[in-house]
Structure 1
């Protein structure tokens, strides 16, 4: 079972709230539906990671190739650094597919899937190759353009207007990574609890933030 499937219901609720702070305090796509899905009990989902004996499996309408595609998108948003592995190492692509399948409305699912198609079309138009064949520099340039587009869209978007597809991708990439074991222990500092209560801890500029606990 993957790291994100090991999270309990309350952990997932708190994770969504906390990662929303990283996005400027905005509500995640899926709104109350996503929060409700994270709170309720449901049968364990199929393992979405590969092993020596188990092959990756489709998730809803997302094929294994789709999940690999999302892994690369997420890894472009959150790449490997000298301090931490990137989003692909945290199996963020399968996480994104699972969350869209389990928590998004049919309308939002369509926007997300159409966004994947639009991303591929835009990459071919800009660079002459699909996203999976593009260089890291080409991928970064494309996603930077889409990120600026979704930021501009957010400023004029009405409450009842559909969400921007890249906003969805970026939200789920960040949520999947920063609630994974890698995100908690590599990108952030993690200390097993319970432990000694320390109300004030000195902060040194440049240190990674502490991983929160539910």
Structure 2
């Protein structure tokens, strides 16, 4: 092999790695994230915080509202969801508000905690039934998206990691077997 052939082979290798880097970095995603921005109003974010608080209420640890899951949902829907899921999520907010108005004559935010829980429990049961026949080619039900984002937002927040779970900022050594007592928190 002469110098010219060696340079051609090196260029081919480097060119292939540069061209393939885009697919590698995007994770070979065939459904690119939407460039359309969903604008949630402050009322929508308060609404999402209330939904999150109903799913994960404050007990001896702060709830989802304290972890500001509504703000996190706004970011995730805008930055990470494909347009189809963004539309489902936006329509879900409208549907949940309409259900609250139909069943109780008030906005979801104005309902009592028992009314909110009853409405979301009913919706959760409907969603669980829908998920039994769900196909990956169709969008998930909106309440499933809200519930997943609530859990993700809460347990990745500072409150969720440090107060809802056992937290060691700088762990010492690896311990393979740690005794578990019923009622212990999970490790963060």
* TM score, norm. by length of structure 1: 0.69
1 CA distance for matches of 2:44 and 2:136? Answer: 30
Bigger Cα Rg:
2
Map 1:128-139 to 2 at 5 A: 128-139=105-116
Map 1:5-24 to 2 at 5 A: none
How far does residue 160 in structure 1 lie from its aligned partner after superposition?
1.4
Which of 68, 75, 82 in structure 1 is aligned with 2:53?
75
Report the 3-state secondary structure (helix = DSSP H, G, I; strand = E; otherwise coil) of the residue aligned with 1:114: helix
Aligned to 1:153: 130
2 CA distance for matches of 1:68 and 1:170? Answer: 16
How far does residue 194 in structure 1 lie from its aligned partner after superposition?
4.0
* TM score, norm. by length of structure 2: 0.79
After TM superposition, the structure 1 stretch with the greater mean CA deviation from structure 2, 202-211 or 190-199, is 190-199
How far does residue 158 in structure 1 lie from its aligned partner after superposition?
2.0
Which of 54, 59, 63 in structure 1 is aligned with 2:41?
63
Cα deviation code 1:61-81 (max 9, x no counterpart) = 111221111001101000001
Q: Do the aligned residues in 1 keep the contact of 2:78 with 2:86 (CA within 8 Å)? A: yes
Which of 123, 148, 152 in structure 2 is aligned with 1:175?
152
1:163 paired with 2:140, answer yes
How far does residue 159 in structure 1 lie from its aligned partner after superposition?
2.4
2 CA distance for matches of 1:164 and 1:173? Answer: 15
2 CA distance for matches of 1:170 and 1:32? Answer: 27
RMSD (Å) for aligned C-alpha atoms: 1.9
In structure 2, the gaps of 5 or more residues are 1-26
1 CA distance for matches of 2:58 and 2:171? Answer: 30
Map 1:20-169 to 2 at 5 A: 60-82=38-60, 84-169=61-146
